Amino acid sequence: MATEIIVGLDIGTTKIACFVGIRGENDRVKILGFGKTDSSGVEHGVVKNIKDTSEAIRRAVDEASEQANVDIDEVWVGIAGQHIKSRPSQGSVMIPPEHELIEQEDVDRLIHDQYNTMLEPGEEIIHIFPQLFYVDREPLSRDVPPVGVAGKVLMADFHMVTGNVQNLQYIKLAVERAGLKIAGVVLEPVASSKAVLDDSDRDAGVAMVDIGGGTTDIAIFYDGIIRHTSVLPLAGNAITNDIREGCNILKKQAESLKVKFGSCLVQAVSENDVIAIPGIRSQAPREIYVKTLAGIINARAKMILEQVDYEIKLSGYAKKLIAGVVLTGGGAQLKHIKELSALITATDTRIGIPNEHLEPDSVNYTELMHPMYATGIGLVLYGFEQSERPADEDVEEEVANGSKGDHVDIFADMDKFPPATEQKVESEVVPAKKADKKAKDDAFGNAVSRFFNRVFNEDIE
């Protein structure tokens, strides 16, 4: 039997990276090929220019394919961006009289019913994470699966993650224009958590914070289950832009200063240290005090981490994070960010590096041992989990790791939602009040149509 190969594609704001992996020992992965290129056409985690993004994807994939000496035609893709939303949900199903005990098909029916939840127009479900199951309104503990329990009504609380259909479509188009198929779409903090967390972290309670270029992604785990997700529109690029404007230098120079000399704590740098920046053409070199640089970085990093702290408190799990906060992503390489995070969140903080889940004989092993590659390696790990999952595995685990079948359903109705630029609008003069009413009626009508389309399509299948 041929060794299965999984490919993860991290489409980020600053970089696009491709990882080709096989299953190693002790649930680790061995990376056979790795390709990376500067990202083009992506802003705050959202694909804006499909042509530029597809070309960048193709460059990264070709590099990884050549190094691994394999053909790549299918990828697992990470998704983030400001359009990502999360919300609580609850559902229930009646247990048929012929079932003396709750059966797997009853649990499956409850889960799949959540895909018929009425959403705002233009939204699509990405993940559904079960939080707590009830039988006849009595909650079940985590160690008691609902299958096999006697009861008449099965209920559950869910954490639902949705994304904008048009933005999902743009990702699909960019990947397909690069000559690839999508095996599945995964929320990036879910993927990153696979690479930098273990079961003890998830059981104890942990907040994983992935600070990328365009977004900061948050995933909070407790008692082994993902409890809260959020995507913030501020990250490493915001710090770079602040340095560029504050010091009046080029963007590349600002990024280099941030990485080589930057610090998140002003009090941790010397008063008199100076950095000389080469002038443009015949201009004299520019001198920048390291303390000034630290002040600029501190202001923005503090703003980002304060929003992270707000999300942690909003989740209701701030006092239950025994494993603390884990920082990963490219922004986690900033000097003293761990200390600033611990100060702002009043919680123990560490840097998450994908070392526990990566085989030492992987290609570019030293380079890959960096928090910025957590998402890409996590995508490979996630892909293996999905491909190796037995068909009869408990549905709680299936959904907790990315909802049963969601990577297929996510693009099922894409043709029903063409990009806004392709939609035609008939000219019509309508009074303001009537226009508002017409817009609301149209939105409601679209949502109802979409609901019944889903129901009828599932019945037919």
Q: Is the pLDDT of residue 402 over 60?
A: no
Asked if 221 and 282 count as a contact pair (C-beta separation under 8 A), the reply is: no
Give backbone dihedrals phi and psi of 445, rounded to 5 degrees, phi first: -60, -40
Residue 346 CA to residue 211 CA, distance in Å, equals 19
**Predicted confidence band of residue 284 (pLDDT cuts 50, 70, 90):** confident
Same domain as 137, residue 258: no
Q: 25: how many CB neighbours lie within 10 A of its CB?
A: 7
What secondary structure does DSSP assign to 129-152, as a single string?
A: EEEEEEETTEEPPTTS-STT---S
Residues contacting 64, CB < 8 A, separation 6+: 7, 18, 19, 20, 33, 34, 35, 72
Q: Is the pLDDT of residue 38 over 60?
A: yes
Per-residue pLDDT at 253: 93
Same domain as 230, residue 105: no
pTM of the model: 0.81
Per-residue pLDDT at 442: 53
**Predicted confidence band of residue 387 (pLDDT cuts 50, 70, 90):** confident
Residue 361 CA to residue 31 CA, distance in Å, equals 8
Same domain as 239, residue 337: yes
Buried b (16+ CB within 10 A) or exposed e, 342-357: bebbebebbebbbeeb
Amino acid at 156: A
The predicted model gives 135-159 an average pLDDT of: 93
Instruction: Among 353, 376, 407, give the residue marking a domain's end.
Output: 353
3-state secondary structure of 115: helix
Query: Residue 146's domain is classified under what CATH number?
Result: 3.30.1490.110
The predicted model gives 90-100 an average pLDDT of: 94
Asked if 191 and 258 count as a contact pair (C-beta separation under 8 A), the reply is: no
Displacement of CA 182 from its chain's centroid (Å): 16
Residue 417 lies in a domain: no
DSSP code for 79: E
Residues contacting 258, CB < 8 A, separation 6+: 236, 239, 240, 243, 293, 297, 334
Residues contacting 422, CB < 8 A, separation 6+: none
Tokens of 410: 């996510």
Same domain as 455, residue 348: no
3-state secondary structure of 288: strand
Residue 114 lies in a domain: yes
Q: Is the pLDDT of residue 339 over 50?
A: yes
Q: How many Cα neighbours within 13 Å face the side chain of 21?
A: 34
Residue 175 lies in a domain: no
Buried b (16+ CB within 10 A) or exposed e, 207-223: bbbbbbbbbbbbbbbbe
Task: Identify the bridge partners of residue 7 per DSSP, sorted by sequence position.
Answer: 20
Per-residue pLDDT at 20: 97
Residue 35 lies in a domain: no
Q: Is the pLDDT of residue 392 over 70?
A: no
Same domain as 145, residue 220: no
3-state secondary structure of 195: helix
Residue 168 lies in a domain: no
**Predicted confidence band of residue 435 (pLDDT cuts 50, 70, 90):** very low
Q: Is the pLDDT of residue 320 over 70?
A: yes
Same domain as 336, residue 252: yes
Distances (CA, A) of 365 to 57, 256, 360, 377: 22, 23, 6, 12
Instruction: Among 111, 136, 163, give the residue marking a domain's end.
Output: 163
Task: Identify the bridge partners of residue 288 per DSSP, sorted by sequence position.
Answer: 275
Share of the chain above pLDDT 90, in %: 70
What average pLDDT is seen over the chain? 85
Query: Residue 318's domain is classified under what CATH number?
Result: 3.30.420.40
Same domain as 219, residue 148: no
Same domain as 233, residue 338: yes
Sheet with strand 181-187: strands edge to edge: 29-38, 15-23, 5-11, 74-79, 181-187
- 132: burial class by Cβ within 10 Å (0-12, 13-18, 19+)? middle
Same domain as 343, residue 211: yes
**Predicted confidence band of residue 201 (pLDDT cuts 50, 70, 90):** very high
| Residue scoring higher pLDDT (40 or 401) | 40
Same domain as 215, residue 154: no
Residue 377 lies in a domain: no
Instruction: Among 353, 383, 415, give the residue marking a domain's end.
Output: 353
What range does the domain containing 127 cover? 85-163
Same domain as 209, residue 154: no
Q: Which residue, 182, 203, 111, is CA-closest to 398?
A: 111
3-state secondary structure of 264: coil
DSSP code for 282: T
Residue 283 lies in a domain: yes
Q: 372: how many CB neighbours lie within 10 A of its CB?
A: 26
> Based on the structure, what is the number of domains in the chain?
3
Rounded to 5 degrees, what angle do the CA atoms 103, 187, 63 make?
Answer: 125
Residue 63 lies in a domain: no
Per-residue pLDDT at 390: 58
Same domain as 331, residue 454: no
**Predicted confidence band of residue 3 (pLDDT cuts 50, 70, 90):** confident
Per-residue pLDDT at 448: 44
Residue 302 CA to residue 325 CA, distance in Å, equals 15
